[in-house]
């Protein structure tokens, strides 16, 4: 971390100091779900691949992060991938700590992954704070022919549990961006509503009061490392 | 009989005497077995005395508080794997020892310090100045843009604020250690972090610092505070009142027991036969082991991060890595590494790392993974490895040394390879070193050689310039004594002039130049060669004088009759010789020159004998010579000694002599002008052999000097010039 930051500083002077590169919040996400549902692929899709063209919003270097914009605010998303194996379930609880958003993923071609959702949900509810936004993602929507779980069924499950839901494809990138962005919007909303206490360490949100007018307040240069 | 005796002896015990009930101290009060036979009062006194004695003895013990954790055992990332095990053992041993010390310290301090020196503590925990110094340095290094920003003032304030915070932070933590539980302390520390964060957000000092830099400052502050606190035993790292150390040992044993767990049990894709894979795992393990040697939470996190990056690369060999792969691989790495004080380290970071950092960021993510891995290992069952309970039990019953031998072998192979690499690198370095040393030695040898040659050449030059002249001074006086009176002593002046001019070295044969040439100096009477025989005949020593230069003017003076002054009779001093007199022995000795042609044979023979005797000093004739002769007639001291009594007038010249002893002086002045001067002789003191060989060499310098400085005719008589005899010879 320190090295990265030092790098930021060293290149900060070359950066334009305009708004897009600064951010005022950090949201922590976790991605949960059974093994093989494509959690990592979703993450990679979101942070790395498809969005190279969208330079201001992408961070290539820093681990699992991307900067997005919600309601004119730059928000840095920090996304933690988690191990989905059943045997690690008991020990992976520390992932949840301080997560502002949880992306619960299942594989629409494998019913078992859908069936496990309730236990994932229980964990999430138990281990995060009430304001944590949970988003259900049915991954591999590109494999519609092998579909094992219907959209309606999942939608119903989501509605019953008050989750947001979307079917996405890490492969094509369909709806991936939306899922992450919608979650961020919801979190930002709860911040605005005051439901989320920024000062609580467990909130999963860090507020970074930006000082855009000042020249020294150069944004992290990591966004600069985008290939475009 | 005996039983009876026994019975009898036992008898009193049955009857309890009243005196037995009394206090052992004899204070008339009743004693009590609970108080060791004392009365209550005496017992209390006794106990107090004992306690005091104990305290005194414990106070004399060296204070182990100053003892710092042994860093020599800290594992670096370069250490080879084969040493891991050994190091781990050593470390745990020293740890145990340190713990014992720690506990004893704390027991003691909790009794002593609490009782009578709670206010003594602050001075004891004075923060050493090097902490502040280190912070200053580090600050300048890490935040150059702050340290040298255009406005000097605010950046100074930032620096100062950071240091002030660290100081108060450390003091606060130390103050609270004994009062609070670890969790309370942890909370307090977190609040301190938040306080500083808030301070940075609100203070005007930090108004020009952007958010990222603030975060870095936070890390910076945390690092310095925690690094210092980490060094103090049992304050923040495996603190008192926690089970950390026991858990460390338990974890270590557990991991050892689980050494049979392989990659297939954890279903991670690791190929032991793949060299790159082994290397990565090896690196990951090194980093993980290095976590213990890092002092601040941030540094420990950095280690974990590096470790996990290696592990991630390990997993992503075939497909992009995901957490599903990372965690098993990390578990495997931890199992193979068995890092020292694992639980303590994890707890330390969890408690005292800035909570924000732990919850976000790469370091936090990987650290969380590590925590997961550790708790997985703690709770590992047959089920979690997807194996039969029976099989699992079998494995667990197995001695720890058997399991995992394949990976251990692979990794030790790795370690060996690494070690071999290191050794090779070392060997390379050494070879390079030796090469340079050789080169330098060669250079030195070449230098020495050239120097030697130079010196030799110089010596040769000097020798050539100033051929050996032999002045058998001792006979001279004898023979020339009579002569001397008649001869005029004035000649020296002239000669000195004549030789003042630069002349090439007389490398040629010492053959006399028979042709008389025009004398340069009016004073000097220059002899034709015909004169020489006359002189010789007269019985004076004949010195073959070769003109120092080839120049025709000087050639005329070929033969000089050595003129001796009265002084010279007694002094073998070289002063008697003018520079141009310098001759080699050989020249003098050649009998054919004077003996055959010019000199009467008899005379020349006599001269010969005398010459030899002069050198050896055995000659009976030599007895007349001054005693100092055999020593070193040319040394200035000798000169002085011999000179003084006889030449009061020359005192002036004498001083000049002294000054002329300095080589440099002579050098500068004379080198070009006078080829005969013995400057060189003086210059190369390394050739004592030469001096010894031809002791007559050195004098000319002095003589010249005297000549130069001394215009007085009287001084001239000290230096009988070759010209003198000539002039005198003529009239004769």
A200–chain B Cβ distance below 8 A for any pair? no
Q: B664-690 b/e with 16+ CB inside 10 Å = b?
A: eebeebbeeebbbbbbbbbbbeebeeb
Q: What is the DSSP letter of B386?
A: T
Long-range contacts of B4-7 (CB under 8 A, 24+ apart): none
Residue A82 inside a domain? The answer is: yes
CB atoms closer than 10 angstroms to residue A165: 20
Backbone angles phi, psi at B705, to 5 degrees: -60, -45
Nearest to B359 among A64, A85, A97 (CB): A97
Nearest to A214 among B208, B302, B384 (CB): B208
Taking residue B262's Cβ as centre, other Cβ atoms within 10 Å add up to: 18
The Cα B21–Cα B35 span in angstroms is 12
Q: Residue B519: CB partners within 8 Å, gap ≥ 6?
A: B525, B526, B553, B556
In the block, tokens 């590494």 appear at: B337
Of B142, B324, B383, the CB nearest to A85: B324
With CB atoms and an 8 Å threshold, state whether B210 touches A64. no
Contacts of A88 in chain B (CB under 8 A): 327, 372, 376
Contact yes or no for B362 and A35 at CB 8 A: no
Can you give the pLDDT at residue B4? 40
Q: Is A40 on the interface with B (CB under 8 A)?
A: yes
**Does A9 contact B327 at a Cβ distance shorter than 8 Å?**
no
Q: Report yes or no: B58 and B65 within 8 Å, Cβ to Cβ.
A: no
pLDDT band for position A213 (cuts 50, 70, 90): very low
> Which tokens is B73 given?
């055992």
Backbone angles phi, psi at B560, to 5 degrees: -120, 135
Partners of A12 on chain B (C-beta within 8 Å) are 145, 212
Q: Report CB contact under 8 Å: A9, B383.
A: no
E strand or H helix that includes residue B308: helix B297-315
**Residue A29 within any structural domain of the chain:** yes
Residue A86 lies in a domain: yes
**Residue ranges in chain B whose pLDDT is less than 70:** 1-22, 24, 26, 30-36, 53-125, 147-155, 317-321, 400-405, 472-732
DSSP structure class, residue B30 = B
B-facing residues of A in 87-126 (CB < 8 A) are 87-88, 90-92, 94-95, 97-98
CA angle B89, B91, B95 (to 5 degrees): 115
Helix axes B699-709, B663-670, angle to 10 degrees: 70
H or E element in which residue B77 lies: none
Q: DSSP readout, B645-671?
A: TT-STTHHHHHHHHHHHSHHHHHHHHT
> Which of B206, B308, B323 is best to mutate for the A interface (most A CBs within 10 A)?
B323
Domain span holding position A195: 2-219
Pairing between strand A25-33 and A73-81? Answer: parallel
Work out the end-to-end distance of chain A between its first and last CA atoms, rounded to an integer number of angstroms. Answer: 24
**Cβ–Cβ under 8 Å, residues B581 and B704:** no
Is B548 within 8 Å of B499 (Cβ atoms)? Answer: yes
CATH number reported for the structural domain that contains residue A185 in this entry: 3.40.50.300
How far is residue B214's CA from residue A209's CA, in Å, rounded to a whole number? 11
Task: Specify the pLDDT at position B732.
Answer: 38
DSSP per-residue codes, B543-604: EE---SSS-HHHHT--EEEPP--HHHHH---GGG--GGG---HHHHH-HIIIIIIIS-HHHH
Chain B residues in contact with A41 by the CB 8 A cut-off are 320, 322
B359:A1 CB<8 A: no
Q: Which residues of A touch B320 (CB under 8 A)?
A: 40-41, 44
Q: Please report, for residues B338, B402, B420, the alpha-carbon distance to residue B82 in angstroms, rounded to integers and kept in the order given.
A: 13, 16, 12
Q: Is the dihedral of CA B655, B661, B664, B668 positive or negative?
A: positive
Strand partners, B454: none
Strand, helix or coil for residue B128: coil
Count CB pairs under 8 A between chains A and B.
130
Query: What value of ipTM does the predicted structure carry?
Result: 0.78
Which residues have a Cβ under 8 Å from the Cβ of B68 and sit 6 or more positions away? B231
In a domain, A227, yes or no: no
Residues whose CB is less than 8 angstroms from the CB of residue B116 and which lie 6 or more positions away in sequence, other chains included? none
- Phi and psi based region of residue B404 (left: phi greater than 0; alpha: psi -120 to 50; beta: remaining): left
The pLDDT assigned to B100 comes to: 44
pLDDT 10s digits, A186-198: 999 888 888 777 7
A224 belongs to a structural domain: no
Smallest Cβ–Cβ distance between A217 and the set B210, B359, B379 belongs to B210
Rounded distance, CA B619 to CA B614, Å?
Answer: 7
Contacts of A40 in chain B (CB under 8 A): 320-324
| CA-based nearest distance A19→chain B, Å | 13
**Is the CB of A88 less than 8 angstroms away from the CB of B355?**
no
Closest Cβ opposite residue A95 in set B219, B368, B383: B368
Answer whether A95 sits within 8 Å of B216, measured CB to CB: no
- CB atoms under 10 Å from CB of B260, counted, come to 18
Pair of tokens at residue B730: 């003529």
Residues of chain A found within 8 Å of residue B321, distances taken between Cβ atoms: 40
Tell me if A40 and B323 make a contact (CB, 8 A cut-off).
yes
Q: How many CA atoms lie within 13 A of B341 on its CB side?
A: 30
Partner B contacted by A28 (CB < 8 A): yes
* Cα distance between residue A12 and residue B259, in whole Å: 48
Enumerate the residues of chain B whose CB falls inside 8 A of the CB of residue A216. 145, 149, 208-210, 213
Is A138 in CB contact (< 8 Å) with chain B?
Answer: no
Distance from CA of B374 to the nearest CA of A (A): 9
- Residue A92 φ/ψ, nearest 5 degrees: -90, 15
**Inside any domain, residue A228:** no
Residue B718 in tokens? 């000290």
In this structure, is the dihedral angle defined by the CA atoms of residues B6, B12, B15 and B20, taken in order, positive or negative? negative
Q: Mind giving me the DSSP string for chain A?
A: -HHHHHHHHHHHTTS--SGGG--SEEEEEEEEESTTSSHHHHHHHHHTSGGGGSGGGB-SSSTTEEEEEETTEEEEEEEEE----GGGTTTGGGGGTT-SEEEEEEETT-HHHHHTHHHHHHHHHHHS-TT-EEEEEEE-TT-GGG--S-HHHHHHHHHHHT-EEEE--TTT-TTHHHHHHHHHHHHHHHHHHT-S-TTSGGGSEEE----TTSTT-PPPGGGGGS--
**CB distance from A60 to chain B under 8 Å?**
no
**Cβ(A164)–Cβ(A183) below 8 Å:** yes
Say yes or no for a CB contact (<8 Å) between A91 and B201.
no
Quick one: which of B180, B137, B696, B232 has its CA closest to B467? B696
Contacts of A160 (CB under 8 A, 6+ apart): none
- CA dist A30 and A18 (Å) reads 30
Using a CB-CB cut-off of 8 Å, the residues of chain B touching A85 are 267, 324, 327-328
- A178 in a domain, yes or no? yes
- The closest CB to that of B323, out of A1, A83, A214, belongs to A83
A102: left (phi over 0), alpha (psi -120 to 50) or beta: beta
Contact A217 B201 (CB under 8 A): no
Q: Do A98 and B371 touch (CB under 8 A)?
A: no
Q: Are strands A73-81 and A65-70 parallel, antiparallel or unpaired?
A: antiparallel
Mutate to test the interface with B, among A73, A92, A107 (most CBs of B within 10 A): A92
- Residue B37, sorted as left (phi over 0), alpha (psi -120 to 50) or beta, turns out to be left
Look at chain A and report how many structural domains it folds into: 1
Phi-psi region of B28 (alpha: psi -120 to 50; beta: other; left: phi over 0): left
Q: How far is B58 from chain A (nearest CA, A)?
A: 46
Domains and CATH numbers, chain B: 1-49 (1.20.5.4770), 125-231 (1.10.246), 244-403 (1.20.1050.80), 466-729 (no CATH)
Instruction: Tally Cβ neighbours within 10 Å of residue B243.
Output: 12
Domain-located, residue A225:
no
Mutual orientation of helices B297-315 and B361-378 as an angle, nearest 10°?
A: 80
Q: From CA B402, how far away is CA B413, in angstroms rounded?
A: 17
- Which residues sit opposite B93 in a β-bridge? none
List the single best residue of A6, A45, A85 to mutate versus B (max B Cβ within 10 A).
A85
Cα–Cα distance for residue pair A104/B581, rounded to 1 Å: 116
Which of A43, A83, A92 should one mutate to test binding to chain B, selecting the residue with the greatest count of B CBs within 10 A?
A83
Task: Estimate to the nearest angstrom the gap between the alpha carbon of B718 and the chain centroid.
Answer: 58
């Amino acid at each position: 971390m320190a090295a990265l930051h030092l790098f930021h500083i060293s290149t900060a002077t070359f950066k334009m100091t305009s708004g897009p590169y600064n951010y005022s919040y950090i949201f922590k996400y976790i991605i949960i779900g059974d093994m093989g549902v494509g959690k990592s692929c979703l993450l990679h899709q979101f942070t790395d691949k498809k969005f190279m063209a969208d330079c201001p919003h992408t961070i290539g270097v820093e681990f699992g992060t991307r900067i997005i914009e919600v309601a004119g605010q730059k928000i840095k998303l920090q996304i933690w991938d988690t191990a989905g194996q059943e045997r690690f379930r008991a020990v992976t609880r520390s992932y949840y700590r301080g997560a502002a958003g949880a992306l619960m993923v299942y594989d629409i071609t494998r019913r078992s992954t859908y069936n496990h959702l309730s236990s994932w949900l229980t964990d999430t509810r138990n281990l995060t704070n009430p304001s944590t936004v949970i988003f259900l993602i049915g991954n591999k929507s590109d494999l519609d022919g092998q579909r094992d779980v219907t959209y309606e069924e999942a939608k119903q499950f989501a509605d019953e549990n008050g989750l947001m839901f979307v079917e996405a494809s890490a492969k094509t990138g369909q709806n991936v961006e939306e899922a992450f962005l919608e979650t961020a919007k919801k979190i930002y909303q709860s911040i605005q509503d005051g439901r989320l206490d920024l000062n609580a360490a467990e909130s999963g949100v860090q507020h970074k009061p930006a000082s855009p007018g000042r020249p020294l307040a150069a944004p992290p240069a990591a966004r600069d490392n985008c290939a475009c | 009989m005996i039983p009876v005796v026994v019975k009898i002896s036992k008898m009193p015990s049955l009857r309890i005497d009243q005196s037995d009930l009394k206090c052992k101290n004899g204070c008339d009060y009743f004693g009590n077995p609970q108080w060791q036979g004392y009365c209550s009062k005496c017992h209390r006194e006794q106990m107090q005395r004992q306690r005091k004695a104990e305290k005194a003895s414990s106070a004399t013990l060296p204070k182990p508080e100053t003892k710092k954790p042994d860093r020599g055992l800290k594992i670096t990332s370069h250490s080879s794997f084969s040493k891991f095990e050994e190091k781990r053992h050593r470390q745990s041993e020293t740890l145990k020892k340190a713990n014992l010390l720690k506990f004893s310290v704390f027991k003691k301090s909790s009794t002593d310090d609490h009782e009578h020196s709670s206010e003594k503590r602050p001075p004891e925990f004075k923060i050493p100045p090097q902490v502040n110094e280190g912070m200053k340095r580090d600050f300048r290094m890490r935040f150059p843009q702050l340290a040298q920003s255009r406005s000097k003032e605010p950046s100074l304030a930032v620096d100062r604020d950071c240091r002030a915070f660290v100081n108060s932070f450390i003091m606060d933590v130390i103050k609270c250690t004994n009062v609070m539980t670890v969790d309370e302390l942890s909370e307090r520390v977190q609040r301190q972090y938040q306080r500083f964060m808030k301070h940075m957000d609100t203070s005007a000092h930090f108004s020009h610092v952007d958010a990222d830099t603030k975060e870095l400052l936070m890390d910076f502050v945390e690092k310095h505070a925690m690094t210092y606190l980490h060094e103090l035993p049992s304050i923040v790292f495996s603190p008192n009142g926690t089970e950390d150390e026991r858990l460390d040992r338990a974890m270590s044993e557990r991991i050892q027991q689980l050494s049979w767990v392989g990659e297939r049990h954890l279903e991670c894709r690791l190929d032991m036969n793949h060299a790159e894979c082994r290397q990565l795992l090896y690196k990951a393990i090194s980093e993980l082991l290095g976590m213990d040697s890092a002092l601040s939470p941030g540094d420990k996190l950095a280690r974990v991060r590096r470790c996990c990056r290696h592990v991630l690369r390990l997993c992503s060999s075939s497909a992009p890595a995901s957490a599903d792969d990372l965690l098993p691989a990390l578990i495997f790495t931890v199992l193979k590494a068995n890092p020292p004080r694992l639980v303590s380290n994890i707890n330390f970071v969890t408690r005292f790392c800035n909570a924000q950092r732990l919850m976000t960021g790469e370091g936090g993510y990987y650290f969380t993974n590590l925590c997961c891995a550790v708790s997985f290992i703690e709770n590992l069952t047959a089920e979690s490895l997807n194996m039969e309970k029976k099989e699992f039990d079998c494995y667990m019953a197995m001695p720890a040394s058997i399991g995992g031998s394949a990976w251990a072998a692979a990794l030790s192979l790795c370690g060996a390879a690494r070690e071999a690499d290191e050794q090779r690198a070392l060997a390379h370095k050494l070879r390079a070193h030796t090469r340079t040393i050789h080169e330098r030695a060669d250079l030195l040898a070449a230098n020495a050689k050239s120097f030697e040659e130079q010196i030799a050449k110089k010596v040769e030059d000097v020798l050539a310039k100033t051929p050996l002249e032999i002045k058998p001074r001792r006979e001279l006086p004898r023979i020339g004594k009579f002569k001397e009176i008649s001869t005029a002593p004035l000649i020296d002046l002239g000669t000195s002039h004549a030789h003042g001019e630069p002349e090439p070295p007389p490398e040629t044969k010492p053959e006399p130049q028979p042709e008389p040439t025009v004398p340069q100096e009016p004073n000097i009477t220059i002899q034709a060669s015909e004169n020489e025989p006359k002189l010789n005949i007269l019985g004076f020593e004949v010195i073959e004088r070769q003109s120092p230069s080839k120049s025709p003017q000087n050639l005329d003076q070929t033969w000089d009759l050595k003129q001796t002054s009265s002084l010279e009779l007694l002094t073998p001093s070289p002063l008697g010789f003018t520079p141009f007199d310098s001759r080699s022995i050989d020249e003098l000795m050649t009998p054919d020159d004077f003996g055959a042609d010019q000199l009467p044979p008899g005379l020349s023979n006599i001269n010969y004998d005398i010459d030899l005797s002069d050198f050896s000093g055995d000659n009976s004739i030599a007895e007349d010579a001054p005693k100092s002769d055999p020593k070193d007639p040319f040394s200035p001291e000798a000169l002085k000694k011999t000179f003084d009594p006889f030449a009061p007038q020359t005192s002036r010249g004498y001083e000049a002599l002294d000054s002329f002893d300095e080589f440099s002086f002579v050098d500068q002045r004379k080198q070009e002008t006078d080829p005969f001067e013995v400057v060189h002789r003086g210059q190369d003191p390394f050739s004592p052999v030469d001096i010894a060989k031809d002791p007559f060499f050195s004098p000319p310098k002095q003589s010249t000097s005297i000549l130069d400085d001394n215009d007085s005719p009287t001084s001239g008589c000290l230096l009988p010039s070759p010209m003198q005899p000539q002039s005198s010879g003529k009239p004769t």
